[in-house]
Amino acid sequence: MRPVRSVTDLVGSAGLILPTAIIPLPMNQPTQIHPHTLSNWLPPLILAPTRFELKTIRAELSNLGIPASFDCIGVGPGAVWRWAQSSASTQTARSPAGRTVILAGVAGALDPAFAVGSVRSASMIIGAGSEFSRPSPSYMPPLQSSRTTVIASVDMTCSDSKRKQALRKQTGAGMVDMESAAFAALATERGWNWGVLRAVSDDHATEIPKWMNSLVHNDGSLQVATLATSILFHPSRIARLAAVGASARRALRELSGELAILLTKRHPRRRTLIFGGTFDPPHRRHAEMVAAAAKFLDCDRVVIIPTGHSPLRDGHDAAPNADRLEMARRAFGEVHGAVIDPREMNRSGESFTVDTLREIAGERSANRDDIVLLIGADQALQFDRWKSWREIDHNLATIAIVPRPPLAAAKLATQLAEKFSRLGEDGERWEMAVLPFESVDLSATMVRNRLRANEGISDLVTPAVEDWIRNNGLYA
């Protein structure tokens, strides 16, 4: 397959299918196999935090005739790293780069729409605990099912409804667990074809008593003595344990069915559209432009990245990061396949797009053809000022450009072709990167100016964004 040179090529190559069928190893296969070749012959590795989860999933997949290897990864982020150091399953010889590795199990729901038994794969994982206060605590799994959600990964059990509500507000996530962020970091480091699949065992309003959280060891095994003592002194707990166990089994049966589909279907090549901005505030044109570009370029994933401190932006943000993040969630909420990625806000110091693209490419084992970077005309005209701009253009992403007044698409394309030809680049490719969209005069500056003049903004932003701005007194 020839490389994708422009967005025109990108549109034309949208139908590529990558097979993921499991092929049995022939008896005459040579003993020494390159790790990347070996990964194509290995069955998927299914991981679960507890032995109860693992046993249930193994039995269900066995009944469905799905070949796989299994291992218990333990409870909590610390257990994941201990597993990585001690288990034979995690060694390169057993699980080389490219092997399919899936973390599966139950989780708590943060989204009120998720009932017990709801199954979702992670479209994004956000590290929301103290162990993940490091830069870039967000990950995008390369392997996803047709039903996805954002998963928040914490350090301690999120068992009460108030904490769930606060975590939902903080991250916008639909589910919460304790292992996904540590697993995502490990899987990215090892180069696995990885994913996370979770089923709801307790909904957003369910509160798990503290005594129940102490019944499982960090290695995922049951604390038999603690369980016996608890029942002996509190016989009424038997009914609660039975109800929780029944809910978990039901959820895990649903999860196993979804896991079987994920492991046996053929996956089309998936493209991700990335769009960053200050969103201070996000206006109607932002969401319209992203939705149109994703459809035009056949991208089924959309990642919205509110910027942190941009070295090319004059002045300071008029709204705090938390407000810009929430406004982005509201503005892009109706865009199909869109997730909000806060990784640049979580960085300290200046934030560079090249670092973000390197991280995303590593997390998803993606190449330049898999990622489309959507930028505006003003950004395109100063693209040569971006850090490592040639690396972005040549290696990390296909550039797609949206026209903006005073330049219409044709005139912008001509200017870009001339500019990048002078820089020794392929001017024709930059010319073809301009999308054939209408040039619309709408900006965040216009929204802020109207607010400061006490004028209406309902034609510029969505009702949900306007409500947040006015209820929080932004830009007054």
- Over 90: is that where the pLDDT of 175 sits? yes
* Residue 314 confidence (pLDDT): 52
Dihedral sign, CA of 389, 377, 371, 9?
negative
* Residue 318 confidence (pLDDT): 72
Do 262 and 297 lie in one domain? The reply is no
Do 46 and 163 lie in one domain? The reply is yes
* Residue 215 confidence (pLDDT): 65
- The answer to pTM > 0.75 is no
The 10 Å CB-count burial string (b at 16+, else e) for 198-234 is bbbbbbbebebeeebeeebbebbeeeeeebeebeeee
Q: Quick one: tokens of 15?
A: 């139908």
Do 324 and 258 lie in one domain? The reply is no
Contact (Cβ atoms closer than 8 angstroms) between residue 194 and residue 143? yes
Do 314 and 378 lie in one domain? The reply is yes
Last residue of a domain, one of 234, 267, 300: 267
- Over 70: is that where the pLDDT of 12 sits? no
Do 35 and 133 lie in one domain? The reply is yes
Average pLDDT, the chain: 82
* Residue 235 confidence (pLDDT): 77
Domain membership flag for residue 225:
yes
Residue identified by tokens 């993606």 is 366
Is pLDDT larger for residue 407 or for residue 215? 407
Least confident of 240-244, 360-364, 425-429: 240-244
Last residue of a domain, one of 244, 267, 290: 267
User: What is the residue range of 325's domain?
Assistant: 269-471
- Over 70: is that where the pLDDT of 57 sits? yes
DSSP 118: -
Alpha-carbon distance 307 to 345, whole Å?
6
**Predicted confidence band of residue 357 (pLDDT cuts 50, 70, 90):** very high
**Predicted confidence band of residue 217 (pLDDT cuts 50, 70, 90):** low
- Over 80: is that where the pLDDT of 36 sits? no
Domain membership flag for residue 9:
no
Last residue of a domain, one of 267, 286, 305: 267
Residue identified by tokens 């960085």 is 347
CATH number at residue 127: 3.40.50.1580
**Predicted confidence band of residue 345 (pLDDT cuts 50, 70, 90):** confident
Q: Quick one: tokens of 124?
A: 């994004």
- Over 60: is that where the pLDDT of 316 sits? no
Dihedral sign, CA of 54, 55, 59, 65?
positive
* Residue 234 confidence (pLDDT): 73
Task: Give 89-115 pLDDT, tens digit per residue.
Answer: 887 777 888 889 999 999 989 999 999
Task: Give 66-83 pLDDT, tens digit per residue.
Answer: 889 999 999 988 899 899
Compute CA distances 77 → 96, 169, 186, whole Å: 22, 22, 11
**Predicted confidence band of residue 229 (pLDDT cuts 50, 70, 90):** confident
CATH number at residue 427: 3.40.50.620
Longest dimension (CA), the chain: 81
Least confident of 165-179, 203-217, 339-353: 203-217
- Over 90: is that where the pLDDT of 377 sits? yes
Number of domains, the chain: 2
Task: Give 389-423 pLDDT, tens digit per residue.
Answer: 999 999 999 999 999 888 889 999 999 999 999 99
The mean pLDDT value for 163-174 works out to 87
